[in-house]
Amino acid sequence: MPVYSYRARNRNGELVTGRLEAPDVSTLEESLDRMGLIPIKVTSHRTGLDISLSGIERFLKLGRRITDQDLILFSRQLATLFAAGVPLTKALSALEHQMENPEFVKVIRGVREDIEGGGNFASAIGRHSQVFPELYVSMIEAGEAGGILDIVLDRLAYMLEKNAENRAKVKSATLYPKIVIGAIIIAVVILMNFVVPKFAKLYASFKVPLPLPTRILIALSNAFVNYWYLLAGGIVGVILLVRFYISTERGRYHWDRLMLKVPIFGPLRLKAILSRFARVLGSLYRSGLPMLQSLDIVSRAVENRVISMAVKMIEDDVRAGKDLSESMEKTHAFPPMVIQMVNVGEETGNLDDMLEKVAQYYDQEVDSTIRNLTTILEPILLTIIFGMVLFLALAIFLPMWDLLTIIRR
């Protein structure tokens, strides 16, 4: 059957592109009309070359994992189609042909078939937990119950975009430090393997006492050259032990607690977690979910055991009849500003708005910290490099000065 590429407009006037199989152009246009799309341009792909290229394209995309960007695009487009009045199953059918990731297309097809079989949207995506996180499913469930599915999808897309944007900014800001640290590691390997052993042989031939820095450097070089496999095995063993410890509930708690205390990155991580806490709780509360259910979902969405346990304590107190702000203050895990904003929201009946303002505030704080990250890290990296150069200079040149002194005598 021929494959057609199309450009069309949806009911909001937005441009939509994709591919569809159809026996002829008129059948294709009827399919687009049922999807709520007005065709602008249709191109046929009939030649053997086109088929070959299409096959290569599918092969190259095979096995591609589903990314956050795929989920963001899906949420944003589905919200637009649903708000335009397109039935959910037809909207999903349209997205099947627009998504470029073949793995995600399979997931969307499965979701559509489950809905057509009588299931609801939340239960259908809940079957694909490897793609749709629990938070996503819970918010969709709330959106269906409250009749605001398009609004919930928009909020989900926005939250996913902010998370992806922050991760991209951190990666960009830490690129320079990563390059510097990588260069230092390469330099150390070269020095220990090739440079220091030659100096060690030279100094050994003079049979004179060596300064302490030189003895330390030669000992490190000998250990590196002769016992590198033990060092590598030790490093791998430590990594595996740490990963095993982190996989336990107690280990994960202590690891997350440590991560919050790491200089520079700890406060940054805490700000990102507080932003996520406020935005998710505000979105769930605004979507109509009861506070206890919202807190239960948030405790699993913050991705930090320390804050998660604090939210669980808050949930228990709220179940006992206490105010949210009072319960938050008891945990000592939230800054006073957050507690005050929540208190104002409870008193005025605008809790969701106050939580959104808290999220916006911490988003700005995260952006500011990330922008200044390179500036903050540069002095630390320079200090490390200066210390290494000073140690190497003393270790290598002090024996030379001692030898010159002995020769002059």
pLDDT in tens, 260-285: 999 888 998 899 899 889 988 888 78
Q: How confident is the model at residue 49 (pLDDT cuts 50, 70, 90)?
A: very low
Q: For domain 3-61, give its CATH number from 3.30.450, 1.10.3470, 3.10.20, 2.70.98.
A: 3.10.20
pLDDT tens-digit map of 320-360 = 989 999 999 999 889 999 999 999 999 998 898 999 899 99
Give the pLDDT mean for 95-106.
Answer: 87
The pLDDT, as a whole number, for residue 407 is 61
The pLDDT, as a whole number, for residue 259 is 92
The pLDDT, as a whole number, for residue 42 is 67
Name the DSSP letter for residue 39. E
pLDDT tens-digit map of 288-302 = 778 888 888 888 778
pLDDT tens-digit map of 52-96 = 334 444 434 444 578 888 888 898 888 888 888 888 888 898 888
At 287, give phi and psi (nearest 5°). -75, -5
pLDDT tens-digit map of 200-256 = 888 787 777 888 888 898 898 888 888 888 988 999 999 999 999 998 989 999 999
CB 256 within 8 A of CB 305: yes
Q: Could you give the percent of the chain with pLDDT greater than 90?
A: 21
Q: What torsion, rounded to 10 degrees, do the Cα atoms 23, 29, 35, 40 define? A: 130
Q: How confident is the model at residue 258 (pLDDT cuts 50, 70, 90)?
A: very high
Give the pLDDT mean for 384-399.
Answer: 87
The two three-digit tokens of residue 391, written as one number: 């140690």
Query: Which architecture does CATH list for 265-371?
Result: Up-down Bundle (1.20)
99 has pLDDT over 60: yes
Q: How confident is the model at residue 370 (pLDDT cuts 50, 70, 90)?
A: confident
The pLDDT, as a whole number, for residue 51 is 39
50 has pLDDT over 50: no
Give the pLDDT mean for 378-400.
Answer: 86
Q: Which range among 23-27, 142-146, 384-388 shows the weakest confidence by mean pLDDT?
A: 23-27
Averaged pLDDT score across all residues of the chain = 82
Q: Say which CATH topology domain 68-150 has.
A: Receptor-associated Protein (1.20.81)
Give the pLDDT mean for 141-163.
Answer: 80
The pLDDT, as a whole number, for residue 122 is 87
Q: Is the dihedral of CA 31, 68, 163, 308 positive or negative?
A: positive
Q: How confident is the model at residue 48 (pLDDT cuts 50, 70, 90)?
A: very low
Measured in residues, the chain has a length of 409
Q: The sheet that has 15-21: what strands, in order across it?
A: 15-21, 3-9, 38-45
Q: Name which of 105, 107, 148 is nearest 126 in CA terms.
A: 107
**Which string of b and e fits 197-209 if b means at least 16 CB within 10 Å?**
bebbeebeeeeee
161 has pLDDT over 70: yes
Count CA atoms within 13 Å of residue 236 on its CB side: 6
Q: How confident is the model at residue 313 (pLDDT cuts 50, 70, 90)?
A: very high
**Residue 69, C-beta contacts closer than 8 angstroms, at least 6 positions apart:** 164
Tell me the C-alpha to C-alpha distance, in Å, between residue 241 and each of 32, 236, 244, 246, 251.
56, 9, 5, 9, 11
Q: Where in the chain are the domains?
A: 3-61, 68-150, 174-247+372-409, 265-371
Same CATH fold, 265-371 and 3-61?
Answer: no
